[in-house]
Structure 1
Amino acid sequence: MTDIADNNATQRDGKLSMLRGFRRRCPSCGEGNMFTGYLKVSDSCPACREELHHHRADDGPAYLTILIVGHILGFAMHFAFVWFRPEPLVMATVFTVGCVGLSLYLLPRLKGMIVGIQWAKRMHGFDNVTG
C-alpha cells in the first residue's frame, strides 16, 4: 500500500514530459538531448543523468507517423486534385516529397513523445521515485 502512496506523492506531469519529448529533450529536466543519433535514445540524460535506457517505444512512433502523415496527405491530395487538377506526375512527385519530408520530421519527435509518456507514467523501469 505504501508503494501506491509513494507513486501518487510524486506525480510526474504528463503533458510537460510529452512536450519535452516532442522537442527531443529529456522528459525529466527538458535540458539534455534525448537522442544520440536520429532515433537512438541516449542511455542517460547528459544534463540531469536521468536514465532513459528503459524505454520501449518499439513500433509505436512509426504507427503514429503513418497515421498522422496519411491523414494530412490524404486531405491535401483530395484538396489539390479537386481545386487545382495538377498533372498526375507533378502531383505524385510533390506528394511523395511531402510524405517523405513530413515522415522524417515527425518520426523522432513522436518517439521522444512516447518516451516522455512512458517516463511520466513510470512504465518499463522508469518507476524510480526520484523525479
Structure 2
Amino acid sequence: MARRRRLSPVQTGLRGRCPACGEGNLFKGFLKFQEECEACGTDFRDEDAGDGPAFFAMFAVLIVIIPMAIAFQMVTGVPMWLELLIWGPVIIGLCLFLLRKLRGVMFNTAWRRNAREVPAKDMKQ
C-alpha cells in the first residue's frame, strides 16, 4: 500500500478534491465519485460515503431552519401554505448544497482512515 500524505479530509472534502493529492476532482457529476483521480491516479472504486452525508445535511439544515420558520410564523402570522412555499425550497436548496460538501468530507475521511465495507462473506456468524 502506498504511503498516504497528510492532507486534511475536511479541506479536501469541502473543495471536492482527491484525498491523496488534493488536486484532482473527487466528483464526476453532482454526487457521483470519479473512478480514479485524474491527477495522481488513486483508485476510488471501492470507496463509499454511505448515507451519513444525507443525515448530517438534513439534521444541520433543520436545526437552523425550524427555529427560523417558527420565529417567522410568530412575527408575521402568514398562512401555513405560504410558510411551506417559502421554507420548502430553502430547506431543499440548503440540503443539496451541504450534501455534496459533506459527501466529500465523509468520503475523504473514510479514505484517510482506510475504512472499507466488509463483504457479507467475510463476516463471522
For the aligned pair, the TM-score class normalised by the smaller chain equals: 0.7 to 0.9
Q: Could you tell me which residue of structure 2 aligns to residue 38 of structure 1?
A: 30
Q: Could you tell me which residue of structure 2 aligns to residue 86 of structure 1?
A: 78
Q: Deviations over 1:9-62 (max 9, x none)?
A: x6734xx22221122111222221101111111111111112222212121111
Preserved contact between residue 17 and residue 28 of structure 1 (Cα < 8 Å): no
Q: Could you tell me which residue of structure 2 aligns to residue 12 of structure 1?
A: 6
Q: Could you tell me which residue of structure 2 aligns to residue 66 of structure 1?
A: 58
Q: Deviations over 1:65-103 (max 9, x none)?
A: 121121121121122123333332222111001011111
Instruction: Say whether residues 1:108 and 2:100 are aligned partners.
Output: yes
Q: Could you tell me which residue of structure 2 aligns to residue 118 of structure 1?
A: 110
Structure 1: which 5+ residue stretches go unaligned?
A: 1-6, 126-131
- Supply the distance in 2 between the matched residues of 1:38 and 1:30 (Cα, whole angstroms): 19
- Supply the distance in 2 between the matched residues of 1:52 and 1:18 (Cα, whole angstroms): 17
Root-mean-square deviation over aligned CA pairs:
2.0
Q: Could you tell me the TM-score, scaled by structure 1's length?
A: 0.77
Q: Could you tell me the TM-score, scaled by structure 2's length?
A: 0.80
- Supply the distance in 1 between the matched residues of 2:70 and 2:100 (Cα, whole angstroms): 27
The number of aligned residues is: 115
Structure 2: which 5+ residue stretches go unaligned?
A: 118-125
